Amino acid sequence: MTLTGYLILSAILFTLGVLGVLLRRNAIMILMSIELMLNAVNLAMVAFSRFIPGLDGQVISFLIIAIAAAEAAVGLALVVQVARDRQTVDVDDLTLLRG
Amino acid sequence: METALFFIMAAIAITAGGMVILNKNPVKSAFSLIVVMLALAILYMQLSATFLSMIQIMVYAGAVMVLFLFVLFILNVGVEGAFSSRMYKRAVAGLVGALMGVVLIAAVLMRGSRMQQLPGMDVAGDFGHIKPVGELLFTKYLLPFELLSILLLVAIIGAMLTTRPKWPKLKLPPELWPGTADEASTETGEEN
């Protein structure tokens, strides 16, 4: 399989993640869509590392996975606290900071 | 064989990815996301990134998604209602997102011919195994690696402090209250 195929798959998954962030209203779903986007980027990184031989892409992928784990932990902690405070995780209802 | 496996895994990943954003039930979305991650893990294996494939299954499908499911169960998040409010804005947002996807794919396809001419497909036998990846991680990428450990520590502390229900009230016996303690000590001092 060529590099182009992997990159197109990565682009499609990234687009699905963007659509999830834009369209969903549940804060947890938005975080999940961000994970989908990070996975798409990881796939592109690994594909590049294979087709331009060199392990740098895989190491960066590894770092991205760790950062995604940290991001999920903090993001979900914030969602839990917001849900306790407001009894909702719907981002359309969280308008306190809207100008 | 490899091409067939790629297309099967790509079809699974795209279908499950679509189900992630289309499912009204967040728990079903989470399980679809696990399917995406497992399909990507198989693709990593095919790209001879065996170590990363295992990390993908253990950290992403194992740890991160379990965290998501725990939060979904704790909060008892219900099924999301229909997109009734701000329908117009949502349509615009969807259009912008789809346009971005078209631009991304077009960019890949336009550069595709140049990418075909990349150097050889042959890689060393242990390419992507844990040893060469680890060596690179502890030499060239040592600083990012160490910074990452600090980031994870800060994330742990931040998550714990954020979800803390309330600062605990200090319940000290009256003789240990601040202020009175000093007086008590001075009084005893005078007696001596």
A33 occurs within a structural domain: yes
A36 occurs within a structural domain: yes
What is the tally of structural domains in chain A? Answer: 1
Task: State which residues form the domain around A77.
Answer: 3-86
Find the Cα–Cα–Cα–Cα dihedral A14, A15, A20, A21, rounded to 10°.
80
pLDDT in tens, B95-119: 999 999 999 999 988 876 666 655 5
Which pLDDT band, with edges at 50, 70 and 90, does B170 fall under? low
Mutation pick from B77, B89, B117 vs chain A, by most beta carbons of A within 10 Å, is B77
A26 occurs within a structural domain: yes
Predicted-complex ipTM score: 0.92
Q: Do B105 and A11 touch (CB under 8 A)?
A: yes
Q: Which residues contact residue B17 at a Cβ distance below 8 angstroms, ignoring those fewer than 6 apart?
A: A12, A13, A16, A17, A36, B32, B36
Q: Domain ranges for chain B, please list them.
A: 1-77, 129-164
The three-class DSSP label of residue B187 is helix
Taking phi over 0 as left and psi of -120 to 50 as alpha, with beta for the rest, A11 belongs to alpha
A94 occurs within a structural domain: no
Q: Flag whether pLDDT at B180 surpasses 60.
A: no
Q: Which range among A14-18, A79-83, B152-156, B174-178 shows the weakest confidence by mean pLDDT?
A: B174-178
CA distance B171 to chain A (A): 25
A20 occurs within a structural domain: yes
CA distance B96 to chain A (A): 9
Q: Do B21 and A16 touch (CB under 8 A)?
A: yes
Locate tokens 């895989």: which residue? A58
The three-class DSSP label of residue A90 is strand
Nearest CA to B42 among B54, B34, B33? B54
The CATH number linked to A38 is 1.10.287.3510
If you measure CA to CA, which chain B residue comes closest to A86?
A: B75
Which pLDDT band, with edges at 50, 70 and 90, does B29 fall under? very high
A99 occurs within a structural domain: no
Nearest CA to A54 among B106, B136, B36, B72? B136
CA distance A97 to chain B (A): 18
Q: At what angle do helices B2-22 and A3-23 cross, to 10 degrees?
A: 10
Nearest CA to B52 among A32, A3, A17, A39? A39
Task: Judge if pTM exceeds 0.90.
Answer: no
- Write down the CATH number for the domain with range B1-77: 1.20.120.1200
Q: B92 near A19, Cβ under 8 Å? A: no
Residues in B touching A44 (Cβ below 8 Å): none
Q: Which residues of chain A have pLDDT under 50?
A: none
- Segments in B117-179 forming alpha helices (H): 130-139, 142-162
Question: Closest partner residue to A14 among B72, B83, B104, by Cβ?
Answer: B104
Q: Do A89 and B77 touch (CB under 8 A)?
A: yes
Residues in B touching A27 (Cβ below 8 Å): none
